[in-house]
Structure 1
Amino acid sequence: MDTTVADTLIGTTIDGRYRITGRVARGGMSTVYRATDERLGRDVALKIIHPSQATNVHFVDRFTDEAKTIARLTHPNVVAVYDQGRHQGLPYLVMEFVQGRTLRDLLSQRTRLSPVEALAILEQMLAAIAAAHRAGLVHRDVKPENVLVAEAPSGGSADLVDAVVKVADFGLARAIEASTVDDSGQLMATVAYVAPELVQTGHADARTDVYSAGIVLFEMLTGKVPFDGADPVEVAWQHVDNDVPAPSGVTPGLPPVLDKLVARATRRDPGARPTDAGALLGEVQAVRDGLGTANVETALLRQVPSRPLGGDATTIVPAVPASADATAFVPPVPAGTYQGGQRPSWARLPEQGGARTAPHRRAAAPSGGFLADRRRVMLSSLITVMALVVVGCIWWVTAGRFSETPTLLNMPQAQALAHAEEKGFKIVIGDGAYSDVVPKDSVVAQQPAAQEKIVKGDTITVNLSLGPEVHPVPDLVGVELAAAKGQLEALGLEVKEGKAQYNETAAAGVVLATDPKAGEQLRPGATVTVVLSRGKAPITIPDFTGKNINEARNELNKLGLSGAERYKDSDQPKDTVLGQSPKPGTGVEKGTDVILDVSNGPPLVTVPDLTNQPCPAAQATLQGMNLQVQINFNPNGLVRGQNPGGNTQVPPQSVVQLQCF
């Protein structure tokens, strides 16, 4: 019964252009498919991120940015990136499709490789990684699964020395840099190849890749990794606690020079390793060419005929013993010389020159005393010339092509560029770095460091000072606490929570204010106090307007609130509530004071003295003062008495009695 789970992406077309034809591999973070670019009519590899990684916004942003960087990295040993995009919210990369197999597949098939094959593959690996290091990239996950061995254009793949090697997965290098340890505490690296510093501190630089490349060389020579175990954490810490053993201890007969090369690349102290992949590449080429020279000299001496001085019989000069110790000190030939046939142009490393002609062998001369003597002289001359050439090559490979890196620290950018060009080096501007000491736009760091050995004409990466590190406080009003903390901590600022406050509009847990306020410049380590909302208060104030003060007091007591009263003159009846603060509907805490404006009633009216005035006129005067009038006896007579009397204060609409005669 077929239990294969159907892959829904196979057969679909991504972005109207890339038709997926099959799945190549599935890893922890992504799946790689084979696809056809229907616009250009070529096969490509399409790497799409797993849905579980797409929720990590930081990872996705880093993945996208790094794809742009690696797309600009052009090198024959780097898997090229052609395009990027999103499919159903998942980021993907479109890369060069390499027709071949991984180094892991080769090792699974053959267990281990010969020293010549292992060094040939390692050279091309390091050439690719060195190009990335010059561009400021660290791979972080160098392992056989990320090394592709391409088939030759002719279709043959039996000779690994002539195969093209390409390194993949640079696109994930910096994307996982901020996630060296995941939420479960697992190291985000392949523990069999992880460098000690990545286990201890999570820090990675070019020397981390050098260590991993050394482990890959060990595995190619022995068919196994140096450290193994059931627990990944235990394996990782073996790299910290133990030196990598010599390959010859696992595979007897390997030259000691290979043991030294592996030991040099896998020092537990990063400072004791080659500074980057380019430096290790130079050492690998010297070792590989040295091994190749020993084989050439041995074969040559076995084929040269010789004759003793006292006879005519022809004898063969005994071969020089090719002992392991002798091999370790055989002088190397110039880098790029390939023994057993020149590497074809499509497989040639950048360090190799043009095609070289194999040494021409003269036909053997007839035997004879004079000719024999002449042959011995020619052989001696040939050996002398070869020795001089080899010595010269040793000098060139080990010292002649190297120069000391100039000191560029503290130089302004323009001066550093001019000084490096004067010394014959190229400059690449790397990421800036904050500094309280080095002025802004001056060199704060360089790689390689000053006075280190570097190939003449090579590239120096310099980091310019960004000046003292200060950051403006971001505007966090309305932002939830977790997001506010993330923004502040990303700037190196400490977070302190102030006393939370009730708020009518802001939800609980969001920022109401910060101290210092948004925009103020702070140094890393400074503290920002955030005031959070507690949401709407639990007690809602009712509307007391128009109610009697006694009724309002009773309601306030039931709600657990206090009342404060302010009396005002008003046309409303006395003790009527005219207004309140806080307003109706406001949320408050228990015990909050509610201020009530209460009516004193209308103002009193002073009754005038109307004695002896005509009754009609007196009536009109009182009515104009909002008083009521009651006339007794003669309405047309004169006022002879009134009640209340003159100058008495009464409420509006009070009745004034007039006695008229």
Structure 2
Amino acid sequence: MDTQVADTLLGSLIDGRYRIRGRVARGGMATVYTATDERLERTVAVKIIHPTQAPEARARLAGFVARFTDEAKTIARLTHPNVVAVYDQGTHAGLPYLVMEYVRGRTLRDVLTERRRLNPDEALAIAEQMLAAIAAAHRAGLVHRDVKPENVLVAEAPTGGPANLVDSVVKVADFGLARAVEASAEEENGNQLMATVAYVAPELVTEGRADPRTDVYSAGIVLFEMLTGRVPYDGDRPVEIAWQHVDRDVPAPSTLVPALPQAVDELVARATRRDPGTRPADAGALLAEVQVVRDELGNPNSHTAVLRRVADETTPVAQPTMVVAAVRPADRPAWARLPEGGGQRSHRRRAATGSEGLGAQLAGLRTRVMGSPRGRLAVAAAAVVLGLVAAVGGWWFGIGRYTVAPQLVSLTKTEAQAQAARGGFTLKYAEPRYDDKVPKDSVLGQNPASAARILKGGTITLTLSLGPEQLPVPDVVGQDFELAKTQLTDAKLVPVKGTARYSDELPAGVVLDTDPKVGTVVKPGAKVTLVLSKGRAPISVPNLVGKNLNEARNILAQLGLTPVETYKDSDKPRDEVLGQSPADGTGVEKGTQVKLEVSKGPAQVTVPRVVDLPCQQAKQVLESQGFPVNIQLNPNGTARFQNPGENTPVPPGTTVTVTCL
């Protein structure tokens, strides 16, 4: 039977107020639970530091708790709609915890896992709210230090449902938590890098320092990931990834997603400059630039703003350009109006005279050309040439410049690229789709379709297959049934309530196990059976170790339990119980088997022959092998008899009687 590791906090009451209901997520520093504030009757989130994050020494732990408390007070003062509110803080079992606003939604990491990447409008909308929260922290003198998708929560949109990311409410969590843990880690282990390497700023790697521009860099990397579906650097070891931030410039997002606007590329480049002095000064400055770019993308014909460089060519500044409207004559100033009356009439007369003179000249030219045979022949030849040119031009523009699109559907990506290259075509790629029948990286569809007309050397858009969609069974062990059911439904899986089992660790109604197991890859719509806990079993197994086997049998029989015995060699007396399974105190049902390890007694040893040896020598031989000796009759004589006899197996320590004459 598989055993899941229990979460002992589930169902417990913290500080006499917060009842832990279920586990939401477990991170590198802390675990987040949903809880009920029994005083205010509301749902909250409780984040409690892992035991491994707190220093073991009492003095260091006290210092850590003090720093954590100070950070919590600072965070609690951040009253901003895009910051996860902090309601309370304290310690439980010596470990610090925070009580925070419970946000009903998903992390940005969950959104990116589902969507892979976002369109620019969605990415900029999320970045705008994210930066608004970080800017509020910067104004309060607080640096986040760990900006990443896992710390950005995307709540359900007030309009349009959860899929409408532009209208979703974004909240940022974990302000100051990384700093409190880092300060404790520095006292224990010296200077450490407490940041996620995929988003870490170069100065945090090389110098270990952080300021608001560090958060600006991390926010730029998050924006890059939202636009492209990946982070800019990867590697086999975290230290390799961290140093790529120091040694390399972040690539333009359009190198991975060609359709992205240049304004977005420039925005990411300014936020992720390696030199912190050339980045926007804080999140508020970057927020202003995001708003400018978002306005430009939302109205492509507007001239609301452009970005220019000041003298040091480092800091972008939003500056409106001039909007030039058509000026009607009536709106012109006095010094710019056209002359009235005679001036206008003279102008019209000159125009009319010029028109009449040109018409007369054209009429005379026609008379001269058509009055001559050569002229008429030249006109006919010109008409034929013009007709041929028109026919050839019509054929070219109507048919000649077109060809037919090749058949690329069902080919692999490599085969499609080779065939398109042979025909001189350029390929573009649409958003890939999952398909149960078409293998991954094979062509699902093309536009234009095969055999359709296409310009020679034109562009064909391909849709590639992602293969069958597969999902890992999420970790819902330790959660109550309703929360686990919601999480499985959100993951496109079908929750099924299975047979409940007794558990010593988990309270009744909490998920004890899943079938398939957590982490197993399944298709969308697969059924996941939830095995629930029935709480502690009604019978407690007694402690039988050290008791005689018959006594242990009687005790188990009275409780309705069944003994199963196995024997092993031991120095303990024969039939003494050496071990048991389940252990004492375990809750079990009636009829459960209890396995007992029983002693076979000490291993026997063989008595050596001492007959015919001098009595004292015989005594020495026996005592050297651990046998007590009893000498009878003449101690100085010769051994004539021994009991037990030679080669007799006996327990260790058996007394051997030697008769000497």
**TM-score normalised by the shorter chain: which range applies?**
0.3 to 0.5
TM-score by length of 2: 0.44
TM-score by length of 1: 0.44
Q: Larger RCO: Structure 1 or Structure 2 (Cα < 8 Å, ≥ 6 residues apart)? A: 2
